[in-house]
Every structure is written in C-alpha cells, then in structure tokens.
Amino acid sequence: MSSSPTPTTAAFILKANIARRFRLALKNADIDESHRFHDLRHTFGTHMAAAGVPLRTLQEWMGHRDLTTTQRYADYAPSEHEGEMVAAAFARPAPPRDAARPQLAVVAGGSIAPR
C-alpha cells in the first residue's frame, strides 16, 4: 500500500485519494490538469537549490539515498559570485550626503508647507 500517515490522525491517506484531491484542486484553480502531484516535489527541490540551500542538505530533505539524484538541482543553485552580481545589479545607490532636502514648516492650523 503506497500511503502515508496524516500529521493529525496518524491514519493513512491512499495515494489515489491524494491524486484525486490534487486533480480537483488543479481544476478549481483553472490550472492545466496535466501536472502531477510529484511535480510539487521537483518544484520544492528547484526553489530550495535556487535559494542557496546546500545540496547535501537538500539531499536529506528530499530523502535521496544518493547525492547524484540531488545533482539534478545543481544547475539552479547560484554560485557565490552570481549572488554578488545580482545584489550589485539591484542595489539602490545611496543618496548624496549633501543632497538638499526640502525645508518644511508647520503653519497656522497645523498644516505643513514648504519654507
């Protein structure tokens, strides 16, 4: 029997029931029903590798016996210099220290107006 216990009841959910619920969720979300429940596993591995999770850690999380199975996600793992390049590309330049800031004053009635 290919099933797993639920976190709250420790009862088993049949694989067919999971697949049926997944197909229903796809249909309700108007998503192409060609997707498989197992695709979520690949999405998780890809996103974790892209987030920089070490492949050895990802291997444990995904339950792979052999690291070569986890290597399929290595292409999505950023190298050290790629992270630095992305950070530099999207960094906001600091405003100059002597930049003129508008002078504001509180006037009668409590409103704020430029000086």
pLDDT along the chain (115 residues), means of 10: 62 85 93 89 91 92 94 83 79 71 67 65
- Indicate if the alpha-carbon torsion angle 84, 87, 88, 93 is positive or negative: negative
Q: What's the token pair of residue 35? A: 């997707």
CB-CB contact of 26 with 35 (8 Å): yes
> pTM of this prediction?
0.54
CB-CB contact of 75 with 82 (8 Å): no
